[in-house]
Amino acid sequence: MIRYGVVGCGAIHAMHCDAAKNIDGADLIGVYDVIPEKAAKTAERYGVRAFASLSELLSEVDAITVCVPSGLHAEVGIRAANAGKHVLVEKPIDVTLAKAMALVDACESNGVRLGTISQHRFSEQIRNLHDAAQNGSLGPLLQGDAYIKWYRTQAYYDSGDWRGTWELDGGGCLINQGVHYIDMIQWIMGGVKAVQAQVRTAAHQIEVEDIANALIEYKNGAIGVIQGSTSFYPGLAERLEVHGRYGSVIIEGDRTKLWKVDQVAANEGLYGGGVQMQPTPSLHMHDPEEAVQNASSDPTALWGEQHRLQVEDFTKAIVEDREPFMTGRMALEPLKIILAIYESSRQGGARIEIA
Ligand SMILES: NC(=O)c1ccc[n+]([C@@H]2O[C@H](COP(=O)([O-])OP(=O)(O)OC[C@H]3O[C@@H](n4cnc5c(N)ncnc54)[C@H](O)[C@@H]3O)[C@@H](O)[C@H]2O)c1
């Protein structure tokens, strides 16, 4: 039984509490928040203990999930790792590469597991696309795009003094909202080599960007576009579009909208592509009203099932003494891409290579 503690009792923490409560082989022991009333409220709701300090929580658990503002992830995670506890940290892993690397190093040197939430990687639709792109079913890859045209009000940014700040949010629509889809498109396409970008603060009173456009070069020679926003009312369903020589796939929200492959070309292995076509995954019709019901406009509309699957995998990784499906090291990739986009924009759209 892996005993979990949840650190930070804000908007996202209930996903982690629910998961730890409901997964076989896991239990929720208690919670901690710098605001004791928030921890007390959660503790009452879940019938667990509200700890008065992080060290007290750490002394009673095997693992923590880190749900504090993004720029504090490494600080909290490193304390847990140094206490010999496994760490599952919310996205992004942290807001600077130095802090993120320090967390990875602390977990590795203390021999504890580190996972970072990227819950959409646990969606069947996304895994189908990843596998098809990587096993050659779509043919040589040409282009991979991520469009995250979301909407957040000024009240959202004003709801927490860390939101929309460089220090604790690390940026705006890309590092907070877009990071999921940037992680997925780079995973599906096989890694990013370089970016050229323009970002703007256009519609909110915040320090960071609320519109971003980037041209992407992938390691395999394909190209693509990343567009992120929290400025576009009413908030559109996010979209991944992948084009290979044999065909195209579009995933919108968590639905496969288009999966169209030239079977003849694929079966004959034209253009130097890979393997026989996989069966087309089931398609779901798009309901335009859904776009405004989901996280594209509502920060509280989240997909709990995928969090549960990721916490379950992390729990099994601890028990089976293996790496989790989404490691801390993997989470460095989307962070590097986002930081390179910011740097490119600062340099007037210069081409920035990802180290
Ligand atoms: N995976 C997702 O879909 C998803 C969705 C929302 C948020 N998040 C991530 O979760 C993290 C938290 O976001 P949120 O929206 O829940 O924020 P929030 O502001 O609603 O909650 C953060 C909580 O952390 C507490 N806190 C601050 N510093 C602390 C510390 N040092 N120790 C303990 N508690 C502390 C605050 O009091 C607050 O209750 C962010 O990194 C965010 O990017 C992920």
Specify the pairing of strand 141-149 against strand 192-200: unpaired
Spatial distance between the Cα atoms of 80 and 349, rounded to a whole number of angstroms = 39
Atom of ligand 1 nearest to the CA of 118: 1
The confidence score (pLDDT) of residue 284 equals: 43
Q: What is the pLDDT of residue 292?
A: 40
| Ranges in the chain annotated CATH 3.30.360.10 | 121-297+336-344
The per-residue pLDDT for 82 is 98
What does the alpha-carbon distance between residue 159 and residue 41 come to, in Å, rounded to a whole number? 19
The pLDDT value recorded for residue 303 is: 60
- Residue 143: predicted pLDDT: 98
- pLDDT for 268 equals 78
* Residues with Cβ within 8 Å of residue 248, at least 6 apart in sequence: 138, 241, 242, 258, 260
Question: Per CATH, the architecture of 121-297+336-344 is what?
Answer: 2-Layer Sandwich (3.30)
> Beta partners for 216?
195, 224
- Which residue has a Cα nearest atom 3 of ligand 1? 302
Residue 308 has a pLDDT of 96
Comparing CA positions, the residue from 331, 353, 330 lying closest to residue 341 is 353
> Measured in angstroms, how far is the CA atom of residue 90 from the centroid of ligand 1?
8
Number of CB atoms found within 10 A of residue 33's CB: 23
Dist. CA 249–CA 254, nearest whole Å: 13
d(CA 354, CA 239): 24
> For position 291, what pLDDT does the model report?
41
Residue minimizing CA distance to atom 18 of ligand 1: 10
Q: Which of ligand 1's atoms lies nearest the C-alpha of 176?
A: 43
Rounded to 10 degrees, the C-alpha dihedral 260/262/263/267 comes to -130
The upper half-sphere exposure of residue 82, i.e. CA atoms within 13 Å in the direction of its Cβ, equals 10
Atom of ligand 1 nearest to the CA of 117: 1
Does residue 299 have a cis peptide bond before it, meaning omega lies within 30 degrees of 0?
no
Query: What CA dihedral angle connects 97, 103, 104 and 110, to 10 degrees?
Result: 160
d(CA 149, CA 173): 9
- Residue 209 CA to ligand 1 center (angstroms) comes to 20
- pLDDT for 287: 45
Q: Show the low-confidence residues of the chain (pLDDT under 70).
A: 272-294, 298-303
Residue 300 has what pLDDT? Answer: 61
Residue 264: its pLDDT value, please? 84
Q: What are the percentages of helix, strand and coil residues in the chain, rounded to 5?
A: 40, 25, 40
First CA to last CA distance, the chain: 40
pLDDT of 254 = 79
Ligand 1, pocket residues at CB < 6 Å: 7-12, 32-35, 38, 67-70, 72, 76, 90-91, 117, 119, 160, 176, 302
Which residue ranges does the chain devote to CATH 3.40.50.720? 2-116
User: Tokens for 51?
Assistant: 């700890």
Determine the topology of domain 2-116 in CATH.
Answer: Rossmann fold (3.40.50)
Ligand 1 midpoint to CA 12 (Å): 6
> Looking at ligand 1, which residue's alpha carbon is closest to its atom 20?
10
Strand 239-244 with 247-252, pairing: antiparallel
Q: Separation of 69 CA from ligand 1 center, angstroms?
A: 4
Please give the distance, rounded to the nearest whole angstrom, from the Cα atom of residue 91 to the centre of ligand 1.
10
